[in-house]
Amino acid sequence: MNNFTWIFLLALFGGLLLELWLLGRQARSVRRHRDRVPAAFAEEISLAQHQKAASYTLANARLEGISLLSGVVLLLALTLGGGLNWLYGLWQTIAISELWQGTGLLLSVLALSTLLELPLSAWRTFVVEEKFGFNRTTLRRFLIDQLMQLVLMLAITTPLVAAILWLMQQAGNGWWIWAWVVLMGFTLFLNWIFPSIIAPMFNKFSPLQDLPLKERLEDLLLRNGFRSNGMFVMDGSKRSGHGNAYFSGFGKNKRIVFYDTLLEGLEADEIEAALAHELGHFKHHHILKRMLYMAMISLLGLALLGWLMQQQWFFQGLGATTHSHAMALALFLLVTPVFTTFFTPLSSALSRKHEFEADSYAAQQSSAAALISGLVKMYRDNAATLTPDQLYSAFHHSHPPAAVRIAHLSSKL
């Protein structure tokens, strides 16, 4: 142990206490307001529906607390507990090159983390989601999904990890610049193939068949100069009762996707307003800005890793006995979230700013009233809490709280 060990432990347990404190604030806020529907929603959401949302939020908060604690235990086991040393030792007994031994270490950590999250994922699906009427998947489909996700993740990650480790070994002190170029290219490629190759592995996507609605939405797209590779309906109802809509891909491979559950719950003008909101993100270049932001953070992170891997105290402070490129990368990926926890409000604030801008755009191009009614229905149908704690929301919510968002849109009427 050295000074960095104590800095790591202070950040780890400081972050844990902060998250548990925020969860406590969230739970108290939801309980305090559960017996009265906020005035802005009283006409559309009943007290019973409001209380269901409160109970659903509290159930998820308890599960989040367990997830936080188990994550800390796993991280300590892999670092100071010697788990990474043990895993790397296993790979070093296999007669393969150092590159593939290191790749095996990284993939082992990734697979182990995924498998250890499986019980909580199953509990969330078959206990929490089932209790509140959202789960529509079966145990067989759940297990197949988990297996497919694991296989796909390993298939996608293996060449990326191997390429970065090779650059760390062969490209000299400036390896991190080349690794960043590879990472960005790989990210763009995944975003491009996601709509047409990856997403259809898990869901069925059918062209929107409602002709009046399709014509209405196409007119909106035409007015806004937006071209896509089609509007599709996703069979989200085979797994969940939650509804949503999103854009995916870029360039000529952009798709507009509506969950079938969303189309069942909203009127045509509300769907048009929801699409106008998504177009607001496009018109304000939010997706591009977010990609540039992530690219900058990735570049800084890789540069930091390039410096840390030359410091003995970095390895020793985290319990590593092997000072290799793979060990440095594994430690960095595991430990970085510990320190970035304290900066999440900055990212959340930027995201909420984008949501306000997209809402304002939708109010101009469609109908603020229709977007309000559509959002209220989605809050109701998804059992979203209407009374989150302000600080918890600042850390964890990418969208403005319901009351704040509705008030902002009401000012556009």
Annotated catalytic residues are 278, 359
Ramachandran angles phi, psi of 330, nearest 5°: -65, -45
The alpha carbon of residue 266 and the mean position of all alpha carbons in its chain are separated, in whole angstroms, by 25
Q: How far apart are CA 39 and CA 335, in angstroms?
A: 44
Which residues are CB-contacts of 282 (< 8 A; sequence separation ≥ 6)? Answer: 224, 226, 247
3-class SS string, the chain: CCHHHHHHHHHHHHHHHHHHHHHHHHHHHHHHCCCCCCHHHCCCCCHHHHHHHHHHHHHHHHHHHHHHHHHHHHHHHHCCCCHHHHHHHHHHCCCCCHHHHHHHHHHHHHHHHHHHHHHHHHHHHHHHHHHCCCECCCHHHHHHHHHHHHHHHHHHHHHHHHHHHHHHHHCHHHHHHHHHHHHHHHHHHHHHHHHHHHHHHCCCEEECCCHHHHHHHHHHHHHCCCCCCCEEEECHHHCECCCCEEEECCHHHCEEEEEHHHHHHCCHHHHHHHHHHHHHHHHCCHHHHHHHHHHHHHHHHHHHHHHHCCCHHHHHHCCCCCCCHHHHHHHHHHHHHHHHHHHHHHHHHHHHHHHHHHHHHHHHHCCHHHHHHHHHHHHHHCCCCCCCCHHHHHHHCCCCCHHHHHHHHHCCC
Q: How far apart are CA 341 and CA 326, in angstroms?
A: 24
